[in-house]
Amino acid sequence: MISMPDHFTYDELSRDFSWSIAEKELEYKPGDRINIGWYCSDRICLKGHAEKTALHYEGFGGVEKKYTFNDIRLAGNTIGTFLRGLGINDGDRVCLFMDRIPELYLSFLGILKIGAIVQPLFSAFGDESLFVRLENAQTRAVITQKKHLPKVRKIRSQLPHLEYVIIVDGVKASDLEKGEVLFSLEKSEPVENLDIHPTTAESPSVLHYTSGTTGQPKGVKHVHYSLISQYLTTKWVLDLRNEDIYWCTADPGWVTGTSYGIIGPWSLGITQCVLDSGFSAQAWYKFIEKHRVTVWYSAPTAIRSLMKAGDEIVKSFDLSSLRHLASVGEPLNSEAVIWSERVFGKPFLDTFWQTETGSIMITNFPGMKVKPGSMGKTFPGIRGTVLDPVTYAPISEHGRAGLIAFQPGWPAMMRTYWNNPEKYRDKFVNGWYLSGDRASIDNEGYYWFIGRDDDVINTGGHLVSPFEVESALLEHPAVGESAVTSKPDEINMEVVKAFITLKPGFAQSPDLELDIMNFIRKKLSPLAMPQAVEFMEKLPKTRSGKIMRRVLHAKEWGEEIGDISTLEND
């Protein structure tokens, strides 16, 4: 609602910076109640914007729906009341397992309003991916759609904590199984008044799952106070102003889709558009033209796909509404920055952050000099550095590579990994939070991304754990051993590649390769599906029997293999 001063410099914003700037604008005082669901809807109505459009949704086949801030306030109340009626309490985990339909966005608010914890999961997840996350969070209810119900049903009997499966569309009451309930927003009486749960700064809000190199995915616990960071970074970095039409292309199954696809824009009272259909350059440009999108937050893989579609197609659309473009999730190559400036008249500005950080940490923003290929500088109030990988001492030399680390204390920082305080503690060294990424910092404080410091695969902006894929592969009847790494890809930067040995009695064939790929797609997700399977006689192992992914990775990327003195000999 209050937009950024038009003339400012990075130094001006950084000088005397305090998060209390956001607290004041949000009229929040330490110790007060703070509830993201209320801030994103009720407060905007109280400020006189009840009739402003909050959500303009477009689904498959061109279905459109529009909701004002008053509509989303009422929808949040209605869903919150329904959940309370089932006996869902504050602190309970409620999973959202839906495509990008309005119910996903509106349930997010409703769950938070009653003080329960939202657990958003990507709807393309297969039953195994879903199972490990619901089991870990001891989730009490899942809100889903008819099309995703079979996956939930398949694992239901193994999830004793899962009491309710709430279906928001198309299932006949007579087809419901035990514990399944129907909810229709359209058929429900709107609830005008709801007692918002008295959440305070440290009350848990959102639980996103993220993949690491080892072990199962970790639940990243966020709290309602994260709003302070998300509000201010949205305002300053995404530069959202009253009259903007904003489009965040991320799915709320991932953190960008919640921090900047729900909380940031709605806490500022901004109109946002959602497109729930697959990618095509034509469809995306048409969407921008039709909705007169002004601010666009997307990801490098999408930008590279648009580049591939060519410059000609851009000319057949009127994209003159675009005022500001930003990107996140993977390295944004300088070609993409330069290309976007040429075809759209403005560059995509890179932003760097993580599920764990909850909000943008390193960034370019309007008014700042852009250096194509650099991620920009730390957001005001964020103390960042790169640490020596051996001594963990901050590196003062410009241009020398180190581990990106931050001094904790910003409002949106995760509070722990769910049920895993040890893994959380492992993320800190000498008081620094280790991001797990490597970069160098130049003489003007700009960060230049180098790569991840672990084996996690970043495919098209989505993190995939090699461990999860390896474990799932072992469940295939033909697979003896498996090792998973990435291989280069023109659009997605990297994709999953599996190396496997077969069990006796199985022979390699293109059919078996396809079968293995599909097995992972169904069990985990299309993102985790290996794009290539290589059958091997044996996998490279250390003498102590550990598989050396590093050797396979180096081979795929044409890199030096490095020290292989521990490699097992024949």
Judged by DSSP in three states, 408 sits in coil
Judged by DSSP in three states, 478 sits in coil
Between CA 519 and CA 509 the distance in angstroms is: 15
CB of residue 393 to ligand 6R9, shortest distance in Å:
22
Task: Assess 458 for contact with ligand 6R9 (CB under 6 A).
Answer: yes
Strands 64-68 and 164-167: unpaired
Task: Assess 418 for contact with ligand 6R9 (CB under 6 A).
Answer: no
Q: In DSSP terms, which residues pair with 434 in a beta bridge? A: 405
Distances (CA, A) of 433 to 386, 405, 429: 11, 5, 7
Judged by DSSP in three states, 407 sits in coil
Looking at beta carbons, which residue is closest to ligand 6R9?
355
Which CB sits closer to ligand 6R9, 255 or 288? 255
Binding mask 207-226 for ligand 6R9 (x = CB under 6 A): ---x----------------
Task: Assess 436 for contact with ligand 6R9 (CB under 6 A).
Answer: yes
CB of residue 357 to ligand 6R9, shortest distance in Å:
8
Which CB sits closer to ligand 6R9, 210 or 267? 210
Which CB sits closer to ligand 6R9, 118 or 255? 255
Between CA 358 and CA 412 the distance in angstroms is: 5
Task: Assess 125 for contact with ligand 6R9 (CB under 6 A).
Answer: no
Q: Which stretch binds ligand 6R9 (CB under 6 A): 392-400, 411-419, 429-437, 524-532?
A: 429-437
CB 171 within 8 A of CB 194: no
Q: In DSSP terms, which residues pair with 437 in a beta bridge? A: 452
The owner of tokens 């098209």 is 460
Chain residues 332-351 in contact with ligand 6R9, contact rule CB under 6 A: 332, 350-351
The owner of tokens 């250390």 is 542
Rule CB under 6 A: choose which of 183, 287, 296, 352 binds ligand 6R9.
352
Q: What are phi and psi of 480, to 5 degrees?
A: -90, -60
Q: What are phi and psi of 433, to 5 degrees?
A: -85, 125
Q: At what angle do helices 69-86 and 102-113 cross, to 10 degrees?
A: 60
Which CB sits closer to ligand 6R9, 375 or 533? 375
Task: Assess 271 for contact with ligand 6R9 (CB under 6 A).
Answer: no
CB 149 within 8 A of CB 142: no
Task: Assess 254 for contact with ligand 6R9 (CB under 6 A).
Answer: yes
Rule CB under 6 A: choose which of 354, 364, 459, 465 binds ligand 6R9.
354
Task: Assess 452 for contact with ligand 6R9 (CB under 6 A).
Answer: yes
Task: Assess 329 for contact with ligand 6R9 (CB under 6 A).
Answer: yes
Which CB sits closer to ligand 6R9, 81 or 354? 354
Distances (CA, A) of 132 to 126, 204, 546: 11, 21, 24
Task: Give the chain's length.
Answer: 570
Alpha-helix residue ranges (DSSP H) falling in 114-158: 127-137, 149-156
Rule CB under 6 A: choose which of 77, 145, 355, 525 binds ligand 6R9.
355
Rule CB under 6 A: choose which of 79, 109, 255, 306 binds ligand 6R9.
255
CB of residue 254 to ligand 6R9, shortest distance in Å:
6
Which CB sits closer to ligand 6R9, 78 or 374? 374
**Interacting residues with ligand 6R9 (CB under 6 A):** 210, 254-256, 328-332, 350-355, 375, 435-437, 449, 452, 458, 463
